[in-house]
Amino acid sequence: MNVTIVDYNSGNISSVINSFKEVAKDKVNIEVTSDLSKIKSSDKVVLPGQGSFKSCVDALKKIDGLTDTLDEFAITNKKPLLGICVGLQMFADIGYEETETKGLGWISGKVSKIDNQNGKFKLPHIGWNQINIIKDSKIFKDIESNSHMYFVHSYEFVPNDKNVISATTDYSSNIVCSIEKENIFGTQFHPEKSDKIGLKMINNFINL
């Protein structure tokens, strides 16, 4: 089986690569590439994202044909795809970080700044926080609700359809931190920085 981590110059993804390779051992081939043919032929795709919504969308668009290839992979062919952090946020129709920017439009909704309640809550939301699992999601197999995951973000994904939400975290309000819609999965937290539980989640995705 081939799992492809999309490398589109969106910040340092070495911890994502290392954690997937650690989980995969020699059983699964982990490829890190922006080669469209390799993405098309892979069994699963991981879309990481660091930095702002706009910078990640711009970086995706800079690679000719990449957004179309991802559309074909996830929407047309319905193969499993995992978005991490801004990788999840880009599923939305639109994001408001820096400037209004169109997302991939896979899951209707918007990405807006976390309401810090006039400075009561520090932004970015950074560090360990509990997740509240609200849907029986395949990527949370054998992971308990109230497990701690690692977060770094100032913006949150607000989907129009609440049925796609698989977990939330409490920070200023109930923030969506994981979604599942058919073959599309996304986490606002960083599983690759979330110790053994994060590795368990990566393992669940690889074994889907």
Catalytically active residues are 85, 190, 192
CA distance 49 to 146: 25
Half-sphere exposure of 92 (CA within 13 A, CB side): 29
Tell me how far CA of residue 133 lies from CA of 81, 168, 197, in angstroms.
Answer: 20, 7, 14
Residue 10 burial (CB < 10 Å; 0-12/13-18/19+)?
buried
Amino acid identity at 31: E
CA distance 184 to 101: 21
Enumerate helices (H) and strands (E) in the chain, giving the number of each.
6, 13
CA distance 187 to 204: 13
Q: Return the HEC string of 51-87.
A: CCHHHHHHHHHHCCCHHHHHHHHHHHCCCCEEEECHH
> Residues 132, 145: contact at Cβ < 8 Å?
yes
